[in-house]
Every structure is written in structure tokens, then in C-alpha cells.
Structure 1
Amino acid sequence: MLFSPRLGWYVRLVVQDMYAHHYEMPRNTLPRGPAYLPHVLTSQKLQRPDQFREALRVTPATFDEMVKELTIDPVFSNNSQNAQLPVETQLAITLYRFGHNGNGASLQQIANWAGVGKGTIDLVTQRVMKAVLSRRFMEKAVPFPTVEEKQKAKAWVQSRSCKAWRDGWCLVDGTLIPLYDKPFWYGESYFDRKSNYSLNIQIVSLPNLQIIDYGFGFTGSTHDSTAWQKT
């Protein structure tokens, strides 16, 4: 069957129009309701710090210190004409996301709470984690104790136990960080004794629970003693 040149021209025109618009059917945007995030960062932060901590899992003072340290990170600055969200907003979204699981941690639920798009949730999470895991921030957030702090820890151990244990001033424990789902690669090795897929994190602290060091990189099935020996 032979096609007329006019029909071929029309087909090309339709295909070009389809590629130009990408969608053949009209798109219905989801109307956004009022965001709850501004209320958390204003009213709850000042008047109800208990509810602020319930939402973001940190105290207002800790939140302000984190914002102060993260603001200077270059990941929160760019040359785009579209300015980023304030650092406190990006940090609040990330903390709220990490503080929830199951249906409460879905992108749509967090987007509704924060009043932003779902793509923005992943974007701000990546920025915050890049800044938090930077060497500068980690050295500031988890410093090794001073000589004075070390002596206080030794005195506490001696007063609460016996003189022979005075030099045992560090406390070490492992904690399991649950994962949302079974990892694709070597997933079985992440299955822990609590029937979850998780990561084994070793925490070193002073008797007053101030964290001074940490070890990571082990799967949930790794025993605490093995993870500690390999730190």
C-alpha cells in the first residue's frame, strides 16, 4: 500500500508533537494542603519543645546547633537562579523522614507534611547526609575527649566500681540500625537476631553517654565482638 506524502507529513507532525509534550492525556496536578512543617519550626519549637522532639527526634537546642554547623557546608550553596530551601527546612525534612517508618515514611506522606514535592524530599535528604558525613562535621560532632574529660570519666569509673577498673573509662556497645528492606546484594548477611535486615554500628562513649568514636560498615548478622575487633 502506498502512502501519500501528505499522510507521511501528518504522521511526522503528530510524532513530533507527542515528543514535545511527552503526554497524550491531560495531567491532573495534586492540590497541596497547608504544610505542618512551619508550625513545627515556629510554635512547637518555642512553646512545645516536647512535641518538636517528637516530630524531629532532637531537642530545639540540638537542632539549632546542627543548623549552625551545616549552614557553612558548600552543598547548601549553588549558582542557580532558584534558591534552595532554608537549611533548617531541609534538615527538618530529613530528620522527620528518618524518624518515621512504614507508611509514615512514604514520600507522599512526608511531602504532605512538609508542603513540598516528592522529588524535593530525596534531594534535601541527599544534601543533608552529604554535609553530615563530611569529615569536618564528623570531627566537630564526635570529638575525642580532652584530658580533663578523660580524668572525670576515670574518676566516675573508680567511684562506681573499683580502683582496678579506673583505666576502663570507655563504654562500647553495638546497636542495630534497621533497614527498610532486604538489600539486593548479599541480603541474607544483613538479617539479624531480631529478624530484621540491619547494619551493625559500634558506639564508643564516656560514662556520661557522650559519643567519642564509632565504627560502621558491618551487616546486622555480624556479632558485636567481631565488629569491635575489626574496628
Structure 2
Amino acid sequence: MTQMMTASLIMTPILATWTPRTQAAPLPHLLHPPCPLPFSPSSGDINEPLQFLCYHHTLFRSTCIFGWHLKRPRDTLHTCLHTCLYTMPTLFCTKFHIWPLTFNKLIWKLELHPVFTNNSNAGQTPVDIQVAVMLYQFGHSGNGVSLQTVSWWLGLGKGTILQCTCCVITAILGTGMLKKYVCMPTAAEKEHVKEWVEK
């Protein structure tokens, strides 16, 4: 009860100086807090941790911008596809886990699939970008494959990423590449693997 009263006494003067931000603007630097520190860091007060927590909670709320839209950088993906693809193959391979020559052959095999065409006036995303989206997403794991991370790195919307991935998978399955290039091991290959494991 005492701590709740202390928090209330601390928050009241702080919240009185806080006004919500409604217009989009750059994030303010934390070097200039919206209100003075309500306690002395070296006072040795027993309630100092609680005061510190309340202060930073208010500071976080006052620096949040409601409705502020992050601008995704689009240069990264285009740099990889138009520069690294031809001049830095090793760097391209570290991002998409495929060599440029194989990437170009994959585009050549998939680009004529009907899933990449439509009858509307709005053209689809280029096939190379869609394949790059799928490769980047499949080549990472954990937090690196979350829609937010992939969206930020590629400079595309989350819905676009899902749509590109589905289109590429549909094209791979529809062109017969899965049956042609992915097959179950034969009995001889299984025996060879068993012998290798036993060694």
C-alpha cells in the first residue's frame, strides 16, 4: 500500500507535464527527457528503484509516437539483386544461400509460370524479387525469419512477403521441379548411409 501511494505521488507531477504526440515526427533523443528527474540518483532513498521505474515508464510513454509509420529501406534488396548478383557473388550467397548462376537458372525456369501473371492493369512484383524473398525467408531461422525482420530487411510489406512466398512455392510445385530434383534415397544409398553412421 505504501509503495502504491509513493508511486501515485511520483507519477502525478510527471503525468501533469506529459502531452501525447499526435503528429508523425522523428523520435526525440533521450538526452532531453520530457521532465526533470523526480529524485536524486545518489539520495539513497529506499524507494529509489520504484521511482526510477515510474520515471522511465513515463519517459517511454512520452516518447512513443502513435500512428507513426516506419519507412522501410528498399535499397538493400535492390543492391543485392542488381549489384551483388553480378559483382559480389559470395556476399549474394551469404544473404540468399544460393549462387548467382543457380539463382538466374531458377528464375528462368519459374518466370513463365501462370502464377506470376495476371489480367489486371497493376503488374506483379518481378519474379526475381519474389524468389529472393522466398530464399531469404527459407535461409534464416528463429527471429531472423519473423515477418517483421524480413519485412524490414527487404523493404516490403508483410502481406507482400507471404504472397511472394506462396507464389514461388506454387510455381516450384507446378513446374515439376520437386519431382525432378528432389527424390527419396534408394536402398543402396540408405545402406551406404547406415555404414557411414556405424563407423
- Is TM-score (shorter-chain normalized) higher than 0.5? yes
Whichever residue aligns with residue 68 of structure 1, its letter is W
Identity fraction in percent: 36
Instruction: Give the 3-state SS of the residue equivalent to 1:121 in structure 2.
Output: helix
**CA-atom RMSD, angstroms?**
2.7
Decide which of 45, 49, 55 is 2:85's aligned counterpart. Answer: 45
How far 1:134 sits from its partner (Å)?
A: 2.0
Decide which of 96, 104, 108 is 2:144's aligned counterpart. Answer: 104
Whose relative contact order is higher, 1 or 2, with alpha carbons under 8 Å and at least 6 apart?
2
TM-score of the superposition, structure 2-length normalised?
Answer: 0.56
> In the TM superposition, what are the counterparts of 1:16-35 in structure 2 within 5 Å?
27-35=67-75
1:92–1:172 distance in 2 versus 1, CA, 3 Å:
farther
> In the TM superposition, what are the counterparts of 1:54-69 in structure 2 within 5 Å?
54-69=94-109
Decide which of 108, 116, 120 is 2:156's aligned counterpart. Answer: 116
1:82-133: per-residue Cα shift (whole Å, max 9, x none)? 1111100000010000001111111111112211111100000000011112
Whichever residue aligns with residue 113 of structure 1, its letter is W
1:172–1:77 distance in 2 versus 1, CA, 3 Å:
farther
How far 1:140 sits from its partner (Å)?
A: 4.9
Structure 2: how far apart are the matches of 1:34 and 1:118? Answer: 14
Aligned to 1:171: 189
TM-score of the superposition, structure 1-length normalised?
Answer: 0.49
Structure 1: how far apart are the matches of 2:105 and 2:188? Answer: 26
Structure 1: how far apart are the matches of 2:98 and 2:188? Answer: 24
1:94 aligns with 2:112: no
8 Å CA contact 1:40–1:52 kept in 2: the answer is yes
Whichever residue aligns with residue 111 of structure 2, its letter is T
Instruction: Give the 3-state SS of the residue equivalent to 1:171 in structure 2.
Output: helix
Whichever residue aligns with residue 116 of structure 1, its letter is L
Structure 1: how far apart are the matches of 2:189 and 2:101? Answer: 26
Structure 1: how far apart are the matches of 2:116 and 2:74? Answer: 25
1:75 aligns with 2:115: yes
